[in-house]
């Protein structure tokens, strides 16, 4: 579904990603871990199409299409979804409005009929129950005045409604207490299927107790320096990142 | 053209105008016009040296020979369809080139609660208020444009809502210019709201073809004790046109005036809005929304004159500027010595979408009472890039994302309009305007 080949990215002349290789197939859950400043969020943002970053090399294929050639909105319409680390507050735009526009833009792109008000409402209600989204958040402005937990829940709710092929969850666990973390994880697990794929970008292992990854990758200084299965995450939690970095440096020299 | 040539042109036009009046030249109405013309002749067109016109030059306007004597032309309903609201609810008055156009007007839903008629008819049938107000304004501080309006006063809307009447049908007044030569129209409106009465009005100004024209309008509103009026003005003139307006509102005790001044069109626009609070415990909302593109210049000068105690005024002016357009907001608040316990609020927020647009924001507070609450603020900013990216990452096209954010920014200036159809239409026009590139 997603193939990243030797992806190099810089911002303001500074190299952040220095040759990323990654393949994600449908039905898979990948976790990308790593210490602060390793380039995890950059990877998430670049895949979603953030313009401030400059791609200096490599390629990204999404369902066989050149992802880097597509605009942010076309990527979304092709089925890519980014759950933001810091969801943006948009005063004056209601959650309902955002979702309706979003769904219909995507449907239009795919040559499908737009949903009428009734169909939209039915869908929304179903998805709200699915991710345990409180009703009152729906009519409020997007993320405005939401608590940290509510913002993250709202991202997962949007993901449930949009139903993407590939979802990238950027530090969705950060700032969540254990109850909110469980709700969010439960929602993600319900959305997860054999037809879609999920990339979890996270600093800590704790989210991975609830959403079990098939693959774990360690990102360090803009490169994936180690990959493994879910046991790698446990090892990182116990021993920290230093030993992986040492191992990598030893191999390099 | 220089001042003298322009005034000569209007002088000649006035003579032609009088000739066309055919025996009416000694009527009371025409005597008022003559007074207006005298005043016009004595005044000069403003320049940058005039503090009130520091940021706005009328020079482009003086380059044309705008004819006040253009005749009426036939228009069809399709021509104005996009400005109309639901006809089963709304009452409509249509004016073409400054003259009442009965064919497309419908006042049948208004019987019994108010008097409504074209101004000229009102004056001819002895509605003295209409004339007295004109004289009152002339004697005081009529400027050159309102004097010009008086001199060529031809038509406009006269509304007098009876005491205690609640008018259910919103009244829409549409002024369109459709001429193949350069034309000036001078619409004059008189709106009188009786005691405990209430009414909702929408004025729309538009042009139907590309010939440059000039709308020079003057509106007088009197709200009697505990009366209430919602007054929305939508200025959607063509990009070649000029629009200058003066609004004089007089509020009596306990009355409520809610004004919404929406500006989308025109190459050069100047609105003077003067609200006089002549009674205790009045409520005033004076909001504005403007979108400017290309080389448009939109200037709003507001004055809220607090003369009596316990009055609240609330102003929110929002604008969005693109290309090399310019917007001026000058907001005066006077609080006179007797106006204790005044509560006056003014906010002006602007969003600039390009590097070469310019905002001049000038709050001006003069307070002579000591127990008052007055706040004001002005901001100029840009659209939030993160919010744009966020919406696009959810599938919004760039334009949709832009329109959504801009509407979200703008909407609180108009969200308190009580007519949902009007709010909806403003949203539609706003996104249409945003999505079409400016004519340069």
With CA atoms as reference, report the closest residue to A168 among A31, A52, A59, A11. A31
Nearest to A73 among B397, B407, B411 (CB): B397
CB B93 within 8 A of CB B174: yes
Contact criterion met (CB < 8 Å) for A98 and B411: no
**CA B331/CA A217 separation, integer angstroms:** 60
Residues of A (96-135) whose Cβ lies below 8 Å from B = 97-98, 101-103, 105-106, 109
Give the pLDDT band (50/70/90) at residue B438: low
Answer whether residue B439 shows pLDDT above 60: no
pLDDT reported for residue B437: 66
Q: How far is CA B91 from CA A192, B76, B229, B382, in A?
A: 56, 17, 16, 40
Report chain A residues whose CB lies below 8 A from the CB of B396.
Answer: 73, 101-102, 105
Give the pLDDT band (50/70/90) at residue A253: confident
Higher-confidence residue of B392 and B137: namely B392
Answer whether residue A252 shows pLDDT above 90: no
pLDDT reported for residue A170: 95
In a domain, B385, yes or no: yes
Answer whether residue B38 shows pLDDT above 50: yes
Contact criterion met (CB < 8 Å) for A105 and B407: no
- Beta bridge partners, B378, equal B348
Enclosing domain of residue B85: 77-129+153-435
Contact criterion met (CB < 8 Å) for A87 and B390: yes
Contact criterion met (CB < 8 Å) for A158 and B394: yes
Report chain B residues whose CB lies below 8 A from the CB of A158.
Answer: 394
Domains in chain B: how many in total?
1
Closest residue in B to A99 (Cα–Cα): B394
Any B CB within 8 A of A90 CB: yes
Higher-confidence residue of A136 and B437: namely A136
CATH number (domain holding residue A17): 3.40.50.300
List, for residues B44-68, the tens digit of each pLDDT value.
999 999 999 999 999 999 999 999 9
pLDDT reported for residue A136: 84
Report chain B residues whose CB lies below 8 A from the CB of A92.
Answer: 407-409, 411-412
In a domain, B71, yes or no: no
For A28, other C-beta atoms within 10 Å of its C-beta total 19
**CA B153/CA B147 separation, integer angstroms:** 10
Nearest to B394 among A91, A102, A141 (CB): A102
Q: How far is B354 from chain A (nearest CA, A)?
A: 18
In a domain, B395, yes or no: yes
In a domain, B32, yes or no: no
* ipTM for the whole complex: 0.96
pLDDT reported for residue B3: 86
Helices and strands of chain B, counted as H and E runs: 9, 20
**CA B175/CA B206 separation, integer angstroms:** 6
Q: How far is CA B260 from CA B50, B293, B415, in A?
A: 27, 20, 10
Contact criterion met (CB < 8 Å) for A90 and B392: no
Angle at B126 between CA B122 and CA B128, to 5 degrees: 90
Structure tokens at A191: 């959305």
Contact criterion met (CB < 8 Å) for A49 and B394: no
Give the pLDDT band (50/70/90) at residue B280: very high
Number of inter-chain CB pairs under 8 A, A vs B = 73
Answer whether residue B429 shows pLDDT above 90: no
Nearest to B387 among A48, A77, A88 (CB): A88
Q: How far is CA B67 from CA A44, B208, B356, in A?
A: 63, 17, 34
- Give the sign of the dihedral formed by CA B23, CA B24, CA B28, CA B34: negative
Answer whether residue A109 shows pLDDT above 50: yes
CB A78 within 8 A of CB A63: yes
List, for residues B106-142, the tens digit of each pLDDT value.
999 987 889 998 888 888 888 888 778 777 777 777 8
Q: A7-24 burial by CB neighbour count: b if 16+ within 10 A, else e?
A: bbbbeeeebbbbbbebeb
Q: Kindly write down the DSSP assignment for every residue of B382-429, as one continuous string.
A: ---HHHHHHHHTTT--HHHHHHHHHHHHHGGGTTT-S-HHHHHHHHHH
Report chain A residues whose CB lies below 8 A from the CB of B391.
Answer: 90, 98
Q: How far is A164 from chain B (nearest CA, A)?
A: 10
Enclosing domain of residue A86: 2-252
Structure tokens at B428: 């539609």
**CA A238/CA A240 separation, integer angstroms:** 6
Answer whether residue B365 shows pLDDT above 60: yes
Domains in chain A: how many in total?
1
For chain B, give the percent of residues with pLDDT over 70: 99
Higher-confidence residue of B86 and B268: namely B268
Average pLDDT over residues B77-91: 93
Average pLDDT over residues A41-51: 95
Contact criterion met (CB < 8 Å) for B395 and A106: yes
**CA A113/CA B272 separation, integer angstroms:** 48
Residues of A (144-163) whose Cβ lies below 8 Å from B = 158, 162
Average pLDDT over residues B316-326: 96
Q: How far is B319 from chain A (nearest CA, A)?
A: 16
pLDDT reported for residue B440: 39
In a domain, B140, yes or no: no
In a domain, B95, yes or no: yes
Contact criterion met (CB < 8 Å) for A72 and B397: no
Q: How far is B96 from chain A (nearest CA, A)?
A: 38
Average pLDDT over residues B347-365: 95
With CA atoms as reference, report the closest residue to A17 among A49, A52, A55, A47. A55
Considering only CB atoms, which residues of chain B are within 8 Å of chain A?
A: 384, 386-387, 389-398, 400-401, 404-405, 407-409, 411-412
Report chain B residues whose CB lies below 8 A from the CB of A101.
Answer: 394-396, 400, 404
**CA B241/CA A210 separation, integer angstroms:** 65
CB B135 within 8 A of CB B35: yes
Average pLDDT over residues A179-208: 93
Report chain A residues whose CB lies below 8 A from the CB of B398.
Answer: 71, 73
CB B35 within 8 A of CB B183: no
Average pLDDT over residues B270-299: 97
Answer whether residue B97 shows pLDDT above 70: yes
Answer whether residue B415 shows pLDDT above 70: yes
Closest residue in B to A49 (Cα–Cα): B393
Average pLDDT over residues A97-118: 94
CB B178 within 8 A of CB B211: no
Nearest to B400 among A50, A84, A101 (CB): A101
Helix, strand, or coil here: A63? Answer: coil
Q: How far is B386 from chain A (nearest CA, A)?
A: 7
For A118, other C-beta atoms within 10 Å of its C-beta total 8
Nearest to A91 among B390, B400, B408 (CB): B408
Nearest to A72 among B384, B393, B408 (CB): B393
With CA atoms as reference, report the closest residue to B21 among B62, B83, B68, B87. B68
**CA A121/CA A123 separation, integer angstroms:** 5
Report chain A residues whose CB lies below 8 A from the CB of B384.
Answer: 88, 90
């Amino acid at each position: 579904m997603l193939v990243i080949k030797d992806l190099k990215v810089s911002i303001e002349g500074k190299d952040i990603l220095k040759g990323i290789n990654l393949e994600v197939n449908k039905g898979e859950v990948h976790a990308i871990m790593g210490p602060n400043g390793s380039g995890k969020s950059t990877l998430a943002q670049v895949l979603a199409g953030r313009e401030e970053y400059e791609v200096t090399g490599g390629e990204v294929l999404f369902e066989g299409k050149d992802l880097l050639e597509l605009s942010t909105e076309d990527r979304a319409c092709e089925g890519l979804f980014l759950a933001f680390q810091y969801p943006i507050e948009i005063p004056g735009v209601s959650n309902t409005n955002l979702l309706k526009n979003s769904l219909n833009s995507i449907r239009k792109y795919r040559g499908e009929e737009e949903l009428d008000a009734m169909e939209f409402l039915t869908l929304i209600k179903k998805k709200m129950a699915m991710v345990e989204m409180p009703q009152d958040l729906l009519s409020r402005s997007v993320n405005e005045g939401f608590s940290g937990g509510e913002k993250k829940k709202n991202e997962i709710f949007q993901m449930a409604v949009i139903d993407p092929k590939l979802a990238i969850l950027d530090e969705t666990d950060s700032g969540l207490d254990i109850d909110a973390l469980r709700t969010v994880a439960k929602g993600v697990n319900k959305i997860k299927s054999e037809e879609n794929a999920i990339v979890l970008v996270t600093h800590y292992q704790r989210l991975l107790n609830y959403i079990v990854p098939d693959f774990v990758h360690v990102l360090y200084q803009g490169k994936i320096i180690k990959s493994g299965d879910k046991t790698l995450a446990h090892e990182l939690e116990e021993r920290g990142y230093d030993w992986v970095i040492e191992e990598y440096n030893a191999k390099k020299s | 053209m220089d001042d003298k040539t322009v005034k000569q042109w209007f002088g000649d036009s006035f003579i032609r105008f009088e000739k066309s009046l055919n025996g009416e030249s000694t009527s009371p109405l025409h005597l008022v016009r003559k007074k207006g013309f005298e005043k016009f002749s004595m005044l000069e067109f403003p320049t940058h040296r005039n503090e009130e016109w520091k940021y706005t030059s009328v020079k482009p306007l003086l380059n044309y020979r705008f004819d006040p004597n253009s005749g009426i032309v036939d228009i069809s309903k399709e021509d104005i369809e996009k400005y109309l609201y639901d006809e089963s609810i709304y009452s409509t008055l249509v004016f073409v080139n400054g003259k009442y156009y009965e064919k497309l007007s419908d006042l049948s839903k208004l019987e019994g609660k108010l008097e409504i008629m074209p101004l000229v008819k009102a004056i001819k049938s002895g509605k003295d208020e209409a004339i007295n107000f004109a004289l009152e304004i002339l004697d005081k501080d009529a400027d050159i444009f309102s004097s010009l309006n008086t001199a060529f006063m031809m038509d406009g809307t006269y509304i007098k809502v009876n005491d205690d009447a609640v008018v259910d049908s919103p009244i829409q007044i549409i002024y369109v210019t459709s001429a193949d030569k350069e034309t000036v129209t001078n619409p004059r409106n008189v709106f009188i709201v009786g005691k405990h009465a209430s009414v909702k009005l929408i004025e729309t100004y538009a042009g139907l073809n590309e010939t440059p024209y000039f709308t020079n309008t003057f509106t007088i509103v009197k709200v009697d004790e505990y009366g209430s009026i919602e007054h929305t003005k939508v200025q959607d003139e063509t990009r070649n046109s000029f629009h200058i307006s003066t609004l004089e509102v007089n509020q009596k005790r306990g009355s409520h005036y809610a004004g919404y001044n929406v500006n989308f069109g025109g190459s050069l626009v100047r609105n003077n809005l003067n609200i006089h609070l002549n009674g205790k415990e009045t409520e005033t909302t004076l909001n504005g929304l403007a979108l400017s593109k290309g080389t448009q210049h939109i200037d709003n000068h507001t004055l809220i004159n607090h003369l009596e105690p316990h009055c609240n005024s609330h102003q929110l002016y929002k604008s969005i500027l693109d290309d090399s357009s310019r917007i001026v907001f000058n907001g005066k608040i006077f609080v006179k010595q007797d106006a204790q316990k005044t509560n006056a609020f003014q906010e002006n927020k602007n969003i600039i979408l390009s590097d070469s647009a310019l905002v001049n924001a000038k709050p001006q507070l003069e307070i002579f009472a000591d127990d008052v609450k007055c706040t004001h603020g002005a901001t100029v900013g840009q659209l939030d890039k993160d919010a744009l990216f966020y919406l696009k990452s959810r599938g919004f096209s760039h334009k949709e994302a832009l329109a959504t954010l801009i509407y979200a920014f703008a909407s609180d200036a108009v969200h308190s309009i009580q007519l949902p159809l009007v709010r909806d239409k403003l949203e539609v026009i706003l996104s249409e305007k945003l999505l079409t590139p400016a004519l340069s």
